[in-house]
Structure 1
Amino acid sequence: MRPDVLKLYRFYASAIGRATCPIITAKLMRLTAPPTDGVTIGFGFTLPYLDLIARAEGRAGGRFLAFMPAQQGVCHWPAHLGSRTALVEEYHLPLADSSVDRIILVHALEHANRPVNLLREIWRVLAPGGQMIAVVPNRMRSWAAYEGTPFGHGRPYSKGQLSSLLEEQMLPVDGWDTALMMPPFIRPMASKLLRYGERPIGFLGKNLGGALIVSARKQVYGTLPKSARKAAIMPALTGS
């Protein structure tokens, strides 16, 4: 069941949410392409992440838009500017074809009843070579099994499942990471251990994190029929 916007907002206002967001954002930023003059779209519930990314990139909040699925609900953001959020239908984004350079998905893909349709829509609005970064629960770890956080809801993915899903939708993976190495704790004091345990546990294995973070790029070449691809390749090989 998809958490509504109020539950998500309360989680990130809690001690464990305040500890979780910087950990994931730091990993996410390592995979993020350098900022451009274009607008970055956050889809799902990305508000705390967009705040930190905008600050790290030295960009005004106006360079970011936060789209939230109709089933989830929407809230005002950012606090110091006019609202940059919109309630949208996840399979019909209000964007033109090939109009976006970067889309960040958090608490989104795992809740899609039709993930293929969502990724096709993401592919449609991304510019050629545009980047999609998704954060999803890792089905192999305890965060996906514990319903006390948003990562315990929706469909978790393994690395192999997510990679295959993206490849099939012409979004080949170009980078991976994981976050949340420590099991989820709710008590305020215990949540502080999340930050201190991230690096030492990460040395034991990159796939130990409770959240998978994947970067993928829009592939245009794969949309051509096989015969057309062969016709495009042969002149280059023959020099004609």
Structure 2
Amino acid sequence: MHLDVQDLRNFYYRSPLGRAAQVSLRARLRQIWPEAKGQTVAGFGFAIPLLRPYLADARRVIALMPGPQGVMPWPANAPNVSVLTEETLWPIETGHVDKLIMLHGLETSERAFDLLEEAWRVLGPGGKALFIVPNRAGLWSRRDRTPFGFGRPYSAGQLETQLRKHQFLPERHVGALYQFPSAKRVWMKSGPMFERVGRAMPGMFAGGAFMVEASKLVYPPKGKVARSKAKKQAIPQGVPAPIAGRV
């Protein structure tokens, strides 16, 4: 079950631990995808903490937020790029996305099979997807005070196997969130040190999340999903979304 958008916003933008998590995840993302100039970048779930670096140079940035989660207008004081969508029927034409980031989307979905098919559909030739999920061996998945303590945690092997079944080719995975999942002062102060050590020696201890980068294979998924032939929905530009506050 998806978390509520208000809880996700409060964690990432209003709590010290959430802001530290945002820094950790974004740093790893920029190592994998340093830029997206002239490309279409989409995020599904609650990916907005990671989308901001691409706003300036990307051709288009789209923040897709599933109905059960709710939506919030983003970014603040700029044209809105967020849209409320059905979990497995996105308002994007087939093959129009160059880069897709999924954060707090896959592990909380009750229709993961169909969700991965929709992710495959929107990616264009040569498109890349980055799936970010809780690490089942990490401490963050065991504490429900953070969003990483909800839904189904994965091992790297489990996620890669699932992606291959949907015609994604896993290319690399990296860990993140090596600091202790606590807002206590002693752990917050030592957080940057744990992050540096974890990135330098990932086998030393498990991170709270990992990221799997996968490319789209040319053959369509084996499953079949009934899709509506309704008229295409336009991606809102500058239209305020109906729920929650600004970030």
TM-score (norm 1): 0.85
Q: Is the 8 A contact 2:165 2:221 kept in 1?
A: no
The runs of 5 or more residues in structure 1 that have no matched partner are 226-240
Counterpart in the other structure of 1:54 = 54
Q: Of the candidates 211, 214, 225, which is equivalent to residue 213 of structure 1? A: 211
Alignment of 1:1-240 (within 5 A): 1-12=1-12, 13-32=14-33, 34-51=35-52, 53-54=53-54, 58-59=56-57, 63-188=60-185, 190-206=187-203, 208-220=206-218, 222-223=219-220
After TM superposition, give the deviation of residue 189 of structure 1 in Å.
5.2
Q: 1:223 to 1:9 in 2, by over 3 A?
A: closer
Question: How many Å separate the matches in 1 of 2:221 and 2:164?
Answer: 15
Q: Is the 8 A contact 1:38 1:101 kept in 2?
A: yes
- What percent identity do the matched residue pairs reach? 37
Q: Is the 8 A contact 2:25 2:176 kept in 1?
A: yes
Which consecutive aligned stretches of 4+ in structure 1 deviate over 6 angstroms post-superposition?
none
Question: How many Å separate the matches in 2 of 1:223 and 1:21?
Answer: 33
Task: Please state whether the residue corresponding to 2:133 is helix, strand or coil.
Answer: strand
Question: How many Å separate the matches in 2 of 1:6 and 1:101?
Answer: 29
Q: Is the 8 A contact 2:4 2:68 kept in 1?
A: yes
Question: How many Å separate the matches in 2 of 1:196 and 1:34?
Answer: 26
Root mean square deviation of aligned Cα: 2.0
Q: Is the 8 A contact 2:180 2:187 kept in 1?
A: no
Mean Cα deviation higher: 34-43 or 154-163: 34-43
| Larger Rg over CA atoms | 1
TM-score (norm 2): 0.83
Mean Cα deviation higher: 183-192 or 157-166: 183-192
Mean Cα deviation higher: 132-141 or 191-200: 191-200
Q: 1:140 to 1:88 in 2, by over 3 A?
A: same
Give the structure with the larger helix fraction: 1
Which whole-Å deviations, capped at 9, do the CAs of 1:66-106 have from their partners, x for residues lacking one? 11000000011011212111000111111111111111111
After TM superposition, give the deviation of residue 19 of structure 1 in Å.
0.8
Q: 1:33 to 1:123 in 2, by over 3 A?
A: farther
Mean Cα deviation higher: 180-189 or 7-16: 180-189
Q: Is the 8 A contact 2:74 2:80 kept in 1?
A: yes
After TM superposition, give the deviation of residue 64 of structure 1 in Å.
1.2
Which whole-Å deviations, capped at 9, do the CAs of 1:135-186 have from their partners, x for residues lacking one? 1000111111100100000111000000000011011111110001122012
Which whole-Å deviations, capped at 9, do the CAs of 1:189-222 have from their partners, x for residues lacking one? 53232222111233333472110111000000x4
Task: Please state whether the residue corresponding to 1:87 is helix, strand or coil.
Answer: strand
Task: Please state whether the residue corresponding to 2:107 is helix, strand or coil.
Answer: helix
Question: How many Å separate the matches in 2 of 1:196 and 1:54?
Answer: 27
Q: Is the 8 A contact 2:104 2:132 kept in 1?
A: yes
Counterpart in the other structure of 1:235 = none
After TM superposition, give the deviation of residue 42 of structure 1 in Å.
1.0
